């Protein structure tokens, strides 16, 4: 007995080692199974990012191939000291904050409807998802035409002045852009929130009801706190998307005219229109860094966890 008990811990290390060998083999196998995906990721994302960073350190204009030279961080200095960049960052942030805020409220309402829908659940969910299935460029054109004073129906609506030309003013254009963005991506928000809503146990609601809690109290005291992880993930995804907004602006106010230029439009103008690869790449890398900052803010400061969301859903 004694020998057996003492031999047990003694036997443990070799046994553990044995497991380690096996684990090693398994880990190796896992790596090999992952390898194609990892290699694909490196090729399609790692390489372009690294190449963009390399380009951003050079003075390199497509039209002046002979003037190519290494300039270090000079391009970043140019961008960060220009008022254009900061104006565009500000415009982008306004579009992001306003559209994501509206989407959150609307998305929550729609999620509650989808969650509570008793009959026709499938059709209701499908109908709500339609805008998300429409190509952004097509949707943007639809909104642009709707607000056009000559071809659109909006100017003909009651309560709206026939002379209203929202696309002729900065604020009007931003409003139409936010509207198009909200219309298009609210379903996505609603879907993510719906997943979170499904996690709230009905028993809690029933118990609260018995205790005399009102509908509002139950929503703010039970539903919202339990949904916090889902809400944060939804906000994170949408904020990252909204910050990179391009197509809506490109269609609704071509070239980012009337002060609607966002950082992505600026990057496009410099990179594609002006053919300035060095400066344009610096802008791209800066946008990339902004996106990382937003993600870090959500994960570290607000404690968003995508794993939690995945695990529970």
Partner 1 sequence: MVVAAATLAACGSSEGGSGARAINWYVFNEPGGAYDAAVDDCNKQANGRYNINYVKLPTDANQQRELIVRRLAAEDESIDLVGMDVIWTAELAEAGWILPWEGERRTVAEKDKLEGPLKTVEYKDKVYGIPFTSNTQLLWYRKDRVDTPPDDFTWDEMIDDAVDKGTAVEVQARQYEGLTVWINSLIAGAGGQIVDQAGNVKVDDSAKRAAEVESKLAKSPAAPPGMSTNAEDQARQGFESGRSDYQVNYPFVYPSAAAVGEDFQKNMGWARYPRTDKDEPSRPPLGGINIGVSSFSNKPDLAFDAAECLANEKHQAIAAEKGGLPPTTESVYETEQVKKAYPFADLLRESIEAAAPRPVTPAYSDISLAIQKTFHPPESVDPDGIVDKLRDRMEKAAQGKIF
Contacts to partner 1 by CB under 8 A? 59, 61-65, 78-79, 82, 84-85, 148-150, 163, 165, 167-168, 170, 254-255, 257-258, 266, 269-270, 272-276, 278-279, 283
Least distance between partner 1 and beta carbon 195 (Å): 40
Considering the complex, state which of residue 177 and residue 200 has its C-beta at the smaller distance from partner 1. Answer: 177
Considering the complex, state which of residue 279 and residue 287 has its C-beta at the smaller distance from partner 1. Answer: 279
Considering the complex, state which of residue 85 and residue 219 has its C-beta at the smaller distance from partner 1. Answer: 85
Least distance between partner 1 and beta carbon 177 (Å): 14
* Three-state DSSP class for residue 59: strand
Least distance between partner 1 and beta carbon 268 (Å): 10
Least distance between partner 1 and beta carbon 168 (Å): 5
Q: Which distant-in-sequence residues (6+ apart) come within 8 Å of 118 by Cβ?
A: none
Sign of the four-CA dihedral 103, 109, 112, 117? negative
With b meaning 16 or more CB within 10 Å and e meaning fewer, what string describes 75-90?
A: bbeebeeeeebeebbe
Considering the complex, state which of residue 81 and residue 216 has its C-beta at the smaller distance from partner 1. Answer: 81
Considering the complex, state which of residue 20 and residue 169 has its C-beta at the smaller distance from partner 1. Answer: 169
Least distance between partner 1 and beta carbon 178 (Å): 18
What are the tokens at 129? 């998802």
Q: Is 228 exposed, middle or buried (0-12, 13-18, 19+ CB in 10 A)?
A: middle
Considering the complex, state which of residue 53 and residue 85 has its C-beta at the smaller distance from partner 1. Answer: 85
Least distance between partner 1 and beta carbon 161 (Å): 12
Considering the complex, state which of residue 31 and residue 90 has its C-beta at the smaller distance from partner 1. Answer: 90
d(CA 174, CA 257): 11
Least distance between partner 1 and beta carbon 292 (Å): 22
Q: Which distant-in-sequence residues (6+ apart) come within 8 Å of 106 by Cβ?
A: 182, 186, 189, 190
Considering the complex, state which of residue 276 and residue 309 has its C-beta at the smaller distance from partner 1. Answer: 276
Considering the complex, state which of residue 219 and residue 288 has its C-beta at the smaller distance from partner 1. Answer: 288
Among candidate residues 245, 246, 260, 242, the one with its CA nearest the CA of residue 87: 260
Least distance between partner 1 and beta carbon 181 (Å): 20
Phi, psi values for residue 69, rounded to 5°: -155, 160
CB atoms within 10 A of CB 59: 16
Least distance between partner 1 and beta carbon 256 (Å): 8
Residue 48 Cα to chain centre, angstroms: 20
What are the tokens at 270? 């410099």
- Tabulate helix, strand, coil % of the chain (nearest 5): 80, 0, 20
What torsion do the CA atoms of 263, 266, 270, 274 make, to the nearest 10 degrees? 160
What are the tokens at 79? 């961008």
């Amino acid at each position: 007995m004694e020998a057996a008990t003492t031999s047990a811990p003694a036997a443990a290390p070799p046994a553990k080692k044995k497991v380690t060998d096996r684990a090693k083999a398994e880990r190796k196998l896992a790596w090999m199974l992952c390898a194609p995906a990892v290699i694909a990721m490196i090729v399609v994302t790692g390489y372009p990012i690294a190449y963009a960073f390399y380009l951003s350190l050079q003075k390199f204009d497509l039209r002046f191939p002979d003037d190519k030279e290494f300039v270090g961080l000079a391009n970043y200095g140019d961008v960060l000291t220009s008022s254009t960049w900061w104006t565009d960052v500000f415009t982008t942030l306004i579009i992001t904050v306003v559209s994501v805020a509206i989407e959150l409220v609307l998305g929550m309402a729609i999620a509650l409807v989808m969650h509570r829908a008793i009959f026709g659940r499938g059709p209701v969910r499908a109908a709500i998802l339609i805008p998300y299935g429409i190509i952004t460029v097509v949707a943007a054109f639809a909104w642009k035409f709707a607000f056009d004073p000559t071809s659109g129906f909006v100017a003909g609506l009651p309560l709206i002045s026939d002379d209203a030309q929202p696309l002729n003013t900065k604020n009007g254009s931003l409003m139409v852009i936010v509207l198009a963005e909200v219309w298009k991506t609210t379903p996505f928000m609603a879907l993510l929130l719906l997943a979170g809503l499904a996690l709230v146990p009905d028993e809690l609601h029933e118990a609260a009801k018995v205790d005399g809690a009102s509908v509002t109290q139950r929503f703010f005291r039970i539903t919202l706190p339990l949904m916090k992880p889902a809400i944060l993930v939804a906000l994170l995804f949408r904020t990252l998307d909204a910050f990179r907004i391009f197509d809506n602006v490109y269609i609704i106010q071509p070239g980012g005219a009337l002060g609607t230029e966002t950082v992505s439009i600026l990057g496009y103008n410099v990179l594609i229109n002006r053919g300035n690869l060095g400066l344009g790449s610096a802008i791209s890398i800066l946008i990339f860094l902004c996106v990382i900052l937003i993600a870090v803010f959500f994960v570290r400061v607000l404690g968003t966890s995508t794993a939690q969301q995945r695990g529970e859903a």
